[in-house]
Amino acid sequence: MIASNESKGSSLIELVDLTKIYRVGTEIVNALRGVSLTIRENEYVAIMGPSGSGKSTMMNILGCLDVPTSGKYVLRGQDVSTLSQSRLARIRGRQIGFVFQTFELLPRTTALKNVELPLMYAQVSRKKQRAMAALKRVGLEDRATHRPNQLSGGQKQRVAIARALAQTPDIILADEPTGNLDSKTGEEIMAIFDSLHAEGQTIIVVTHEEEIAARCRRVIRLHDGMIASDETISPVSAPAPRERVTTP
């Protein structure tokens, strides 16, 4: 059933007339062209589009890895559009959890230490306990001392999800999270995201796979740097808004 793109929960992300222009030699590339949208707390969003549509650029901006050329990006009431790189890094460390297609795990470091790493940068307390709790949440507490080369692809991605969860982020950003996995393992990984959403986690998935987007509650399609469509599929029941946990 298709509904309007209004959903329960307060506004978490607001993009207002966002543009991003790159210069490649003498060529000007308009990666984003006046994008405006709102993402509310507890949404489960897929961002789709063909190569060159602007979806990777949008993810980089949503993840505070890049800043727009013009327009505004408001994250939990704060305009982050013009912040310095050091302030953006602090926001990434405390508010955004990343899950990448290639896992991005340190090869000579245990699963537990990989999950602990962002907590060390964020200088939070009880790092080991929080990391173990995150591994337990994805069913990998018994693999805590294993290194990435001792783990399957699906287990590596579970570690990556645990690493994102350990930060208690406002948003999990997942970039093609099943791209390096077989279909059965990909289904298992998406089931974890489904469960996290049911618990109230805001999740944004960048994907080119229709079956992955179908798991989400809202699908935003980009074309030539603009929003071509924005549809929200009403779930049977919406999760209760998740209480924001302040990191000690």
- 192-204 pLDDT, tens digit each: 999 999 999 999 9
The Cβ of residue 8 has, within 10 Å, a number of other Cβ atoms equal to 12
Q: pLDDT tens, 74-85?
A: 999 999 998 999
Nearest C-alpha neighbor of 172 from the set 207, 137, 197? 197
| Residues of the chain where predicted confidence (pLDDT) is lower than 70 | 1-9, 122, 234-248
Domain locations in the chain as residue ranges: 42-65+84-233
Residues 15-48 have pLDDT tens digits of 999 999 999 888 999 999 999 999 999 999 999 9
* DSSP three-state, residue 57: helix
Task: Write down the pLDDT at residue 3.
Answer: 40
Q: For residue 184, what are the CA distances in angstroms to 154, 161, 187, 190, 244? A: 10, 17, 5, 10, 33
Cα–Cα distance measured from residue 186 to residue 178, given in angstroms and rounded to the nearest whole number: 5
Do residues 225 and 54 lie in contact, with contact meaning Cβ atoms separated by under 8 Å?
A: yes
Domain 42-65+84-233 fold is Rossmann fold (3.40.50)
Q: Which of helix, strand or coil describes residue 178? A: coil
Backbone torsions φ then ψ of 227, nearest 5 degrees: -80, 115
